[in-house]
Amino acid sequence: MLTKKTAIGIGIGALAIGLGTFFLIQSLVSNVNVVNDSVDIGKSDVFLFDAQKHFHEFLNVTGSSFHVTLKTPSNGLQVDQDFQNNTSFDWYSLADGKHFINVTNTGGSTVHVTGNLEAVQSPLIFMSHILVISSGVLIIGFSAAFSIRKPRGF
């Protein structure tokens, strides 16, 4: 027979396992970061991310006047120039490595940056999900042990 504390502990542990598993699967499946930023006059917006070979990247910049610096690994897309009104970049990564994008507003109005950047997730995010799942298993284990035999002092 389960006690009230044991049932609550098993429920909390199951919730932790469920949430950890959901977010782990979501982080493994979805590695596209949706960009929707505004850059004020005289300010910059910097994107620095790791991407693997054949990842698809798309970036659209709209504003009166702006400077774009875009560097991809190997001999991929390299841009360092001024633009007016609107420009779009659509490319595939030619090699694994860091991508660097800097959009600087040089005009008299706000610049809007939109796009989809496909990036490799950090291993720390993966480990945090595993930690939540293992904590849920640990909570369920302790709760089940309390229903079998109550330790002294409880």
State if pTM tops 0.85: no
Four-residue CA torsion sign, 133, 134, 139, 145: positive
Instruction: Give the amino acid at 135.
Output: S
Each residue's pLDDT tens digit, 24-76? 888 877 778 888 999 899 899 999 988 888 888 999 999 999 999 999 988 88
User: What's the CATH fold of domain 32-120?
Assistant: Jelly Rolls (2.60.120)
pLDDT grade, residue 154 (50/70/90)? low
Which H or E element spans position 97?
A: strand 97-105
Q: Return the SS3 of 88.
A: strand
Would you kindly state where each structural domain of the chain is located, as residue ranges? Answer: 1-31+122-147, 32-120
